[in-house]
Amino acid sequence: MKLRCIAVQYRKTIRRPAVKATLIFDEDDKNPILLDSNFDEDWGDCLYLQPILHHGIHKKHKVEIIVEDTDTKDKTPFYLMSLIVA
């Protein structure tokens, strides 16, 4: 049996407020994963790696990312860097 790992890489920023997103994995909307772009540090931005699936079963998966606040006039936009599958 092959095992699968999935992660999302996105920017966390010190330029607050920053837009947040919600990740729905395999249509499980009862257990959403928050992708919060607000970095708790004060020294710079960070490319954050959020594990989604660790050593799961090799099969077809669905990843849906919903940007929470599309009015980004006063907020730093959400920046999705990559979806990593191993």
Residue pLDDT, tens place only, 17-73:
999 999 999 999 999 999 999 999 989 999 999 999 999 988 999 999 999 876 767
Model confidence pLDDT, tens digit, residues 63-78: 999 998 767 678 999 9
Rounded Cα gap, residues 7 and 82, in angstroms:
8
**Which structural domain, as residue segments, surrounds residue 28?**
3-85
pTM of the predicted structure, to 2 decimals: 0.89
Catalogue the E-assigned strands of 26-74. Answer: 33-36, 46-57, 63-67
| Number of domains forming the structure of the chain | 1
